[in-house]
Structure 1
Amino acid sequence: MAIHKPGKKDIDNTGLNSRATTKYARFINKDGSPNVVWRGSGILDRYSIYHYLINIPNWKFILLIFGYYMLINLLFAGIYYVGCQNHLLGLIKGTPFETFEEVYFFSSQTLTTVGYGRISPEGLLTNTIASTEALIGILTLAIITGLLYGRFVKPKAYIRYSDNAVIAPFQDGKGLMFRLLPIKNARLSEVIVTLTASMMIEENGKTINKYYSLPMQFNTINSLYLSWTIVHPINEDSPIWGMSMQELEEADFEFMVYLKAYDEDFSNTVISRTSYTFDEILNGSKFIPMYYDSEEGEGTIIDASKLNDYTETPESRI
């Protein structure tokens, strides 16, 4: 267990619990989401459907739309099949499967308000069911359109981080480093990065969790077009100065990355987060350069496939 070091000022503005006596998992997931599980409140208090649908991955959103479309059509097709067959003019009856196929596609035409016209409802009850389905279809289309627009225009920091951090040679000593890269033609300026370390510390005979600011070589750049290697010099000002990898493991070391930048395309501020735990730190390694000049003189070439490439440097082990 790491011992509290006088002179290494801890911070308490992280928004996380600074008095935990045991740490079971990382605070920030690799994708930047907080690793928090809510208990003791209702599901409506814990979740917002809008925020969930805005933030889920594209493949989940698409599957959810298709799943909803299939489910609502199956529901109304079942209603038509069970109680409305004799009130659907133009319905061609055959085997049970063929009849259900007919009412299913009638349902899809009603839901989307296409209405080809071959099958039409007759009678108050069947017309009421069909008009209700048409209303649901119109409302669904409006909601999905709004969600698609919201997802499309939502500002997002398209940043890819290296899978691992490294302990590498830096100036006359060593440094804790990781690398990041802008993707998807992101135009980011006024980029600011903040690093916060979390460690289980023994203080006054008690084990508590404390947070420390990790000073960087520099934490601000005007524009981010190439890869950026963030460096925390391991010197007398570092909270991990003099610590070995075993001590970092015993301290359950994790450092959290907070990036804020101005997106020139959206004219808005974007934020990105991630974290690295002690087992994601490569002791005695350095990153391999991932950009070089074009032989044709066309500009700088960035090889994104080398974001995680490194070579071992045993002399920089701690």
Structure 2
Amino acid sequence: MLSRKGLIPEDYLLTRLAEDVQQPKYKTKQGKARFVRKNGACNVAHTNIREQGRFLQDVFTTLVDLKWLHTLIIFTMSFLCSWLLFGMIWWLVAFAHGDLDQKGDDFVPCVTDIHSFSSAFLFSIEVQVTIGFGGRMITEECLSAIIILILQNIVGLVINAIMLGCIFMKTAQANRRAETLIFSKHAVISLRNNRLCFMIRIGDLRKSMIISATVRMQVVRRTTTDEGEVVPLDQIDIHMDNPVGTNGIFLVSPLIITHVIDKTSPLYNLSRDDLEQQDIEVIVVLEGVVETTGITTQARTSYVSEEILWGQRFVPTVSEEDGIYAVDYCKFGNTMKVPTPCCSAKELEEAGDSARFSLNDGATSRTSVRRRRKAAVVRKSRMENK
């Protein structure tokens, strides 16, 4: 008997039993790798780094960039190693001075009540964390013990300062604030003011604002220079037309960020068919200062060719209700189809008004066809009644 794996072709996808699927679903083809993922993470792997020592030159940033588990393990091992190291030093001081041997009442030790390595380790912990149980203490007998006490206090303060700084920076990282900055799942290309535009929608879920927010866009694609050099990730800046007409945006409600596709745009020669065939990626970067903390934050996303919808626009999300403006985030990524020419912005500009007339004529012709069909049906029904 054939196995289930042998009966089902690899080109088909298994669907759930609850789905009523009339036709089999095929796997989508493996597309081009993204330079920036939808969540903003950069899809870049750094390999063959020979100068690993450069990371140790900036220890603080390295600790902040590590995962929480690794950071906590490093700090725990730092405390344990420092306690053990100075515990060994205190034991050696007591051994050299003869504190471990039983002496008379007139003998003055360097550190009182140290009889073994365990007691020296406990005294090391008491000194560094300033617990001071009172049973063990340093005396004026040994100058070396005083110097070691000063050194251990300095080392403990340095470890505490680095640990508190790393924990504060990790908890107050700007990427946490970026989780509430959202982008539309798709980008759209349609006409706005008789010009072909590339549009996305951004929004902020928190009431605390992003101060001096700015949006930047780049097109990443594979290009070839006139000399034949292949640039696998050519980053080209594209000009933004912010809704408020300035460099900064007032991100209180969701905004539609528009890029007019003109002669300076890398999308100038791109038509709808070219968009389906070419592998391009549009990276969107939103930067600003968090109002509550004053830390600069950055949110990123990208749109590949399959996520750019031609001939659609975003539906409105803001409405006025009882004297206030209400934002419906259920419609944040919703789009609707609008009449849009399939040609590129270059061809549209060269055609001039004829392109708009052809667009209107197409809509008029479709309406006239519907009217003729409806009239023919009415005439046919009248003839049958006669």
Settle same-fold status: TM greater than 0.5. Answer: yes
2:238 maps to what in 1?
214
- Structure 1 CA distance for aligned equivalents of residues 131 and 113 of structure 2: 16
2:278 maps to what in 1?
247
1:100-139: CA deviations, max 9, x gaps?
5x65554332212232222335774666544432221133
- Structure 2 CA distance for aligned equivalents of residues 224 and 44 of structure 1: 39
Residue 152 of structure 2 is aligned to residue 133 of structure 1: yes
1:42-98: CA deviations, max 9, x gaps?
6248852244456667776556544433443344446667886838644698xxxxx
Equivalenced residues, count: 281
Q: Does the Cα contact within 8 Å between 1:193 and 1:257 map onto a contact in 2?
A: yes
1:168 maps to what in 2?
188
Residue 125 of structure 2 is aligned to residue 111 of structure 1: no
Backbone CA RMSD of aligned residues? 5.3
- Structure 2 CA distance for aligned equivalents of residues 258 and 188 of structure 1: 14
Share of identical aligned residues, percent? 12
SS at match of 2:278: helix
Shift of 1:200: 1.2
- Structure 1 CA distance for aligned equivalents of residues 147 and 38 of structure 2: 49
If the length of structure 2 is used for normalisation, what is the TM-score?
Answer: 0.50
1:194 maps to what in 2?
216
- Structure 2 CA distance for aligned equivalents of residues 262 and 309 of structure 1: 25
2:283 maps to what in 1?
256
Shift of 1:195: 0.8
1:26 to 35, 57, 68: 35
- Structure 1 CA distance for aligned equivalents of residues 316 and 77 of structure 2: 42
2:298 to 272, 278, 300: 272
Q: Which amino acid in structure 2 is aligned with residue 214 of structure 1?
A: I
Tell me which protein shows more strand as a share of its residues: 1
Q: Does the Cα contact within 8 Å between 2:189 and 2:199 map onto a contact in 1?
A: no
2:376 maps to what in 1?
none
Q: Which amino acid in structure 2 is aligned with residue 197 of structure 1?
A: V
Compared with structure 1, are the counterparts of its residues 111 and 272 closer, same or farther at alpha carbon in structure 2 (3 Å cutoff)? same
Tell me which protein shows more helix as a share of its residues: 2
Compared with structure 1, are the counterparts of its residues 118 and 152 closer, same or farther at alpha carbon in structure 2 (3 Å cutoff)? same
- Structure 2 CA distance for aligned equivalents of residues 179 and 104 of structure 1: 61
Compared with structure 1, are the counterparts of its residues 156 and 90 closer, same or farther at alpha carbon in structure 2 (3 Å cutoff)? same
- Structure 1 CA distance for aligned equivalents of residues 41 and 217 of structure 2: 13
Q: Which amino acid in structure 1 is aligned with residue 228 of structure 2?
A: K
Shift of 1:196: 1.5
- Structure 2 CA distance for aligned equivalents of residues 103 and 229 of structure 1: 67
2:82 to 72, 75, 89: 72
1:225 to 247, 252, 256: 252
- Structure 2 CA distance for aligned equivalents of residues 82 and 272 of structure 1: 53
Shift of 1:166: 1.6
Of stretches 32-41 and 160-169 in structure 1, the one that deviates more from structure 2 is 32-41
| Superposition map of 1:136-147 within 5 A | 136-144=155-163
SS at match of 2:135: coil
- Structure 1 CA distance for aligned equivalents of residues 331 and 61 of structure 2: 31
Higher relative contact order (CA 8 A, sep 6+): 1
SS at match of 2:132: coil
Q: Does the Cα contact within 8 Å between 2:34 and 2:43 map onto a contact in 1?
A: no
Of stretches 72-81 and 84-93 in structure 1, the one that deviates more from structure 2 is 84-93
| Superposition map of 1:282-301 within 5 A | 282-284=307-309, 300=326
Q: Which amino acid in structure 1 is aligned with residue 188 of structure 2?
A: A
If the length of structure 1 is used for normalisation, what is the TM-score?
Answer: 0.58
SS at match of 2:250: strand
Instruction: Give the greater-gyration-radius structure (CA).
Output: 2
Q: Which amino acid in structure 2 is aligned with residue 166 of structure 1?
A: H
Q: Which amino acid in structure 2 is aligned with residue 114 of structure 1?
A: I
Compared with structure 1, are the counterparts of its residues 39 and 75 closer, same or farther at alpha carbon in structure 2 (3 Å cutoff)? same
Q: Does the Cα contact within 8 Å between 2:211 and 2:288 map onto a contact in 1?
A: yes
Shift of 1:300: 3.9
SS at match of 1:158: helix
